[in-house]
Amino acid sequence: MLLQKTVPGDPAMQYLRDPAEIYRESFAIIRAEADLARFGEGERDLVIRLIHACGMTDIVDDLQISGNAIEKGRSALACGAPVICDVTMVAGGIIRSMLPAGNQVACGLELNEARAFALENSHTRSAGGFEALREKIPGAVIAVGNAPTALFHLLEMVGSGLASPAVVLGFPVGFVGAAESKAALAANEHDIPFITLAGRRGGSAFAAAALNALAAGLDP
């Protein structure tokens, strides 16, 4: 690893400080250590960014990318589709300057409609957030980084006749419903393009990293 040079007697610790070089070296290490063989050329940038977000090269074994997900996601973003997130942590991790069309980033978690839906249906506010933004979902890029209930409810909405989003980045995390909701996404009968990580692992950093990779590849 390259370290920042310091002058003799300088009390500063030696470590790499240049942001661009940190990214370049990080991605080089990932390419050297991760088995990316099963991913297509167009998928590898996204996989590398996901590994970079968590520091775990073994996630490659659990990543699932539907055949048209990256193409559909990038096309939707280029055409100005909104990005709809289940929680504000996902929205906060999206690098707005990367979005190709000044795309709206929306999260309905704090909307009154979300609270009302959760109360009336004994459900979660994250699911209510998707319900509150129902009209924006068709053709949108959906990023789920926390709540399995939000992903389940999204699939229920499409199953009930709502037009499909362009792509779903499904990375809910946890011990109750996370693995099951992602399995349901991967098996969905509505041909919704998806990117997901099977099992319990996931989180907002994954969802934001996937979105950033769709928006602009590996550029920091």
Instruction: List, for residues 155-185, the tens digit of each pLDDT value.
Output: 999 999 999 999 999 999 999 999 999 999 9
Average pLDDT, stretch 31-51? 93
Residue with tokens 């199953």: 159
Going by pLDDT thresholds of 50, 70 and 90, the confidence category of residue 12 is confident
On whether residue 18 sits in a domain, the answer given is: no
Task: At 141, give phi and psi (nearest 5°).
Answer: -100, 120
On whether residue 138 sits in a domain, the answer given is: yes
What are the CB-based long-range contacts (under 8 Å, 24+) for 51-57?
52/26, 52/27, 52/209, 53/205, 53/206, 53/208, 53/209, 54/201, 54/203, 54/205, 54/206, 56/201, 57/30, 57/33
Q: Which CATH number fits the domain that encloses residue 126?
A: 3.40.50.10230
Instruction: List, for residues 140-151, the tens digit of each pLDDT value.
Output: 999 999 999 999
Any catalytic annotation for residue 123? no
**What is the predicted pLDDT for the residue at 8?**
55
Looking at this protein, which amino acid is placed at residue 33? E
On whether residue 34 sits in a domain, the answer given is: no
On whether residue 15 sits in a domain, the answer given is: no
Answer whether 90's CB lies under 8 Å from 112's CB: no
Full domain range(s) for residue 95: 58-216
* pTM for the whole structure: 0.91
Rounded (5°) CA angle 71-72-75: 85
Query: Among 52, 123, 153, 190, which one carries the catalytic annotation?
Result: 52
Answer whether 54's CB lies under 8 Å from 205's CB: yes
Q: What is the overall mean pLDDT for the chain?
A: 93
How much is the CA Rg of the chain, to the nearest whole Å? 19
Going by pLDDT thresholds of 50, 70 and 90, the confidence category of residue 217 is low
Average pLDDT, stretch 192-197? 98
How far is residue 125 CA from its own chain's centroid? 19
On whether residue 52 sits in a domain, the answer given is: no
On whether residue 95 sits in a domain, the answer given is: yes
On whether residue 2 sits in a domain, the answer given is: no
How far is residue 107 CA from its own chain's centroid? 14
Q: Which token pair is 185?
A: 């996404």
On whether residue 46 sits in a domain, the answer given is: no
Average pLDDT, stretch 91-98? 96
- Number of structural domains found in the chain: 1
